[in-house]
Structure 1
Amino acid sequence: MLLTSIDPFVQEFERQFDRAVRQFSGLADGNLMPMDGIRRADDVVLRFDLPGIDPGSIEVTVDRGVLSVTARREEEFGEDERVFVRERAMGSFTRRVYLSEHLDADGIEAAYNNGVLAVRIPVLEQARPRKVAVQQGDALKAIKS
Structure 2
Amino acid sequence: MAMTFDPFSELDRVAASLLQPHSGPRVMPVDLYRDADRYVLNADLPGVDPGSVDVDVDGQLLTIRAQRTAGSVSGAKWLAQERPAGSYLRQFSIGEGVDTAGISASYDNGVLSVIVPVSERAKPRKIHVQNQASNDQDQKTLAS
**RMSD of aligned Cα (Å):** 2.5
Which ranges in structure 2 are unaligned for 5 or more consecutive residues?
A: 1-6, 137-144
Contact 1:71 1:94 in 2 (8 A): yes
Q: What do residues 119-143 of structure 1 show as CA deviations (whole Å, max 9, x unaligned)?
A: 00110111112233344453687xx
Q: Distance in 2 between matches of 1:113 and 1:99?
A: 24
Post-superposition, which runs of at least 4 consecutive aligned residues in structure 1 deviate over 6 A? none
How far is the alpha carbon of 1:51 from its aligned partner? Answer: 0.8
CA distance in 1, matches of 2:131, 2:15: 61
Write the mapping of 1:49-128 to structure 2, written as runs, cut at 5 A. 49-128=44-123
Tell me which moved more, 28-37 or 103-112: 28-37
2: CA distance, partners of 1:58 / 1:94: 10
Percent identical: 40
Which stretches in structure 1 are left out of the alignment for 5+ residues? 1-13
CA 1:27–1:122: 2 relative to 1, 3 Å: farther
With 68-77 and 79-88 compared, the bigger mean Cα shift is at 79-88
Contact 1:41 1:128 (8 Å CA) reproduced: no
Q: CA deviation at 1:32?
A: 1.6
Aligned equivalents of 2:64, 2:134: Cα separation in 1: 51
**Residue 7 of structure 1 aligns with which residue?**
none
Alignment of 1:30-41 (within 5 A): 31-41=26-36
Larger Rg: 1 or 2? 2
**TM-score normalised to structure 1 length:** 0.74
Note if 1:25 corresponds to 2:16.
Answer: yes
Structure 2: which amino acid aligns with 1:109?
S
Change (3 A) 1:139 1:60: farther
Distance 1:22 1:67, change over 3 A: closer
Normalising by structure 2, report the TM-score: 0.74
For 1:68 and 1:91, the matched residues in 2 are separated by: 17
1:79 offset after TM fit, Å?
Answer: 1.0
Q: How many positions carry a matched residue from both structures?
A: 124
Q: Report SS of the residue matched to 2:121.
A: helix
